[in-house]
A and B are shown apart, each in its own frame.
Chain A
């Protein structure tokens, strides 16, 4: 690597347009976010890498639940606890939040701030409904005598679904923050890309629930 590449160069915006390297012109063509030597956005690359690693986290949690779901001697198990109609409705709600999220990304790419804010808010609202249903479910299990330490089944169930619930909650916080930032037009870099990155996280939360809903709720222990 040459010495010139190791020394810090001024920000692209600080230099005259004619002095900028070809890649910087390229970045301007794409809404201002920097394009790496691979031709891809580093932010997007990092998000996909993060989501790939999240697969491992949930893979481990789902494995643990599948191994321990039958370990609840003398205490209520899945067959006595599950409320399939409630879980089905909350699954539907989360699925529809993926639709509203993709509509928000679409609006952001068309530079329609008003629609972007509306769809992001609706997504956050649907996510909150899902979390509310999960809190209700956890509370009803507790009233039926199933707590976190009641059995191996309950520990693995609460850990898995709790971790997912935390992910949804973090997603809601990110969505609401994004609503505030977009409303004030203070999005750093490419606005459409920022919305798309949050969207990728939100869709990931949805696909994890698709797996949990089938493996945990619909398959009898």
Chain B
């Protein structure tokens, strides 16, 4: 096996293993996610006015991406998996926006 083959082989093995981290890393990530959830719930009981919705959406996206990237290993895995998943996700967002706009434009008013 040549050096190039060896490097390619190791990269392939790393991709197969999905860039798994030590368990302590996952515990820290879960603790961070729990903390963000606690912030979300605390914000619900506080009156933040117009800032409430954007902050909540940002926190939701952070939690979503953290689980997808780190727990589902999409960040370390092959990019094809990311394309498959995020294309479905984007399509879903467009479906929602399309439906919302349709009801806004054709609600009889």
Binding site for B on A (CB under 8 A): 26, 29-30, 38-41, 44-45, 48-49, 51-56, 58-60, 62-64, 66-67, 84, 88, 91-92, 95-96, 98-99, 101-103, 105-106, 109, 196, 199-200, 203-204, 206-207, 210-211, 213-215, 218-219
Contact A106 B92 (CB under 8 A): no
- Which of A52, A63, A101, A105 has a CB less than 8 Å from the CB of B89? A52
- Contact between chains at A88 and B80 (CB < 8 Å): no
Give the distance in Å from the alpha carbon of A29 to the alpha carbon of B5 in the complex. 14
Chain B residue numbers with a CB within 8 Å of A39 are 12, 15, 78
A210 & B30 in contact (Cβ 8 Å cutoff):
no
Say whether A219 contacts B53, CB under 8 Å.
Answer: yes
Report Cα–Cα, A203/B37, bound state, in Å: 16
A-B contact number at CB 8 A: 129
The one of B9, B34, B78, B99 that contacts A96, using a Cβ cutoff of 8 Å: B34
Interface residues of B (CB under 8 A from A): 9, 12-13, 15-18, 20, 23, 26-27, 29-30, 33-34, 37, 40-41, 43-44, 53, 56-57, 59-60, 63-64, 67-68, 71-72, 78, 80-81, 84-89, 91-93, 95-96, 99-100, 103
Decide if B26 touches A103 in the complex (CB within 8 Å).
yes
Give A88 to B34 CA distance when docked, in angstroms.
Answer: 10
> Are A40 and B95 in contact (CB-based, < 8 A)?
no
Task: Report the bound CA distance from A133 to B85 in whole Å.
Answer: 29
Nearest first, the 3 A-B pairs at minimum CB distance are: A52-B88, A59-B92, A99-B30
Q: Check if B20 sits within 8 Å of A210, measured CB to CB.
A: no
- Tell me which of A38, A51, A96 contacts B85 (CB under 8 A): A51
Contact of B64 among A48, A56, A210 (CB under 8 A): A210
With beta carbons under 8 angstroms apart, the residue of A26, A200, A211 that contacts B72 is: A200
| Chain A hits for B92, CB < 8 A | 55-56, 58-60
* Inter-chain contact A59/B60, CB cutoff 8 Å: no
Tell me the bound Cα distance from A213 to B81 in angstroms: 26
Residue pair A49, B100 in contact (C-beta under 8 Å): no
Measured CB to CB, the nearest residue on chain B to A31 is B16
Sample of 6 more A-B contacts, CB < 8 Å, known A59-B91, A210-B63: A56-B88, A63-B96, A95-B37, A98-B33, A210-B67, A213-B40
